[in-house]
Amino acid sequence: MLAVTSLPLETPVAKSAGLRFGSGGVHTSRTMMLAELTALLAAVPASSDRERYADAIITDNVLHKSTASNRRLTNQRLGEFYSLDRRVQIFRALRSLWDLDEAGRPVLAVLCALARDPLFRLTAQHVLALPLGAELVRSEFLQCMREHVDARLNDASLDKVVRNAGSSWTQSGHLAGRMRKARVAVATSFGSVTFAIWLGSLEGLVGEDLLRSFWMSVFDVPRYALIDAVMQAKQRGLLGASIIADVVQIEIAPFRQRIAGV
């Protein structure tokens, strides 16, 4: 289990790839909506444009929302979380790996949500630092978030962020339980590790530093398990990698080339 490192750097490359920075976040109103994302990506071909995703949600009602206003809001929130636009690199990266790595989908989704929701990123430093088996104590979570956001959110809004974030971390597999949530272990998959490495590369990280990034802290595994996932990604043509004297060299170029086209 990696210690939670500092939050990712805001770089022009990261922003152009679709990461968001600032003080806002979708978790003031919604969870990361894993079930809706899963149903939507199953219904819409990967080659589709943003308008097709909107039509599927609003017109075709593939997510079975009860009102037109709810369908429109769902389209907006999913777009804020995941872009749903193949012109945006982060969505191309997500969609490419989503179709390859079914087991890794919950972690792929949470990585994208963390990248797109700055407020949700702040919750990671508390949740991911919990020892495995430890209970998520709501009062402690609230206090931690209050220190991060200062006076930007009132108590009611902050309480909603904590509630929604707790649900999102449960959807991703990092927490378990309904009323009382406890920290549980999350394993690697070749797709989710590839996504985490790509996200780290947007900060300018290379080599071993890619295995120690903020994004890698979502995995509760030792270093050798991360390396195993990297080598699996290499076998699938997603990454280049070599190990020399226990030092890992990682080449992200194959994945960048994979998602380069619109």
Query: Domains plus CATH for the chain?
Result: 5-262 (1.10.3540.10)
pLDDT of residue 154: 87
pLDDT of residue 155: 85
pLDDT of residue 5: 60
pLDDT of residue 245: 79
Helix (H) or strand (E) holding 225: helix 223-235
84-123 confidence digits (pLDDT tens): 999 999 999 999 999 999 999 999 999 999 999 999 999 9
* Rounded average pLDDT over 44-63: 97
Return the closest-CA partner of residue 70 out of 47, 36, 114.
Answer: 36
pLDDT of residue 4: 64
Percent of the chain at pLDDT > 90 equals 85
Helix (H) or strand (E) holding 248: strand 247-251
pLDDT of residue 255: 97
pLDDT of residue 199: 98
Query: Mean of the per-residue pLDDT values for the chain?
Result: 94
Token pair in block for residue 12: 């022009």
Q: Where are the alpha helices (DSSP H) in 84-176?
A: 89-98, 105-116, 118-127, 138-149, 155-171
> Is pLDDT at 174 greater than 80 in this prediction?
yes
Residue 59 in 3-state DSSP? coil
Residue with tokens 């990461």: 19
> Is pLDDT at 81 greater than 70 in this prediction?
yes
* Rounded average pLDDT over 238-248: 89
Angle at 252 between CA 251 and CA 254, to 5 degrees: 100
Q: Are 201 and 255 in contact (CB under 8 A)?
A: no
Q: Which amino acid is at 118?
A: P
> Is pLDDT at 1 greater than 70 in this prediction?
no
31, 87, 132, 198, 237 from 253: Cα distances, Å: 33, 19, 35, 10, 10
pLDDT of residue 236: 96
> Is pLDDT at 262 greater than 80 in this prediction?
no
What does the alpha-carbon distance between residue 180 and residue 192 come to, in Å, rounded to a whole number? 27
DSSP state of 18: T
Give residue 192's pLDDT band: very low, low, confident or very high (50, 70, 90).
Answer: very high
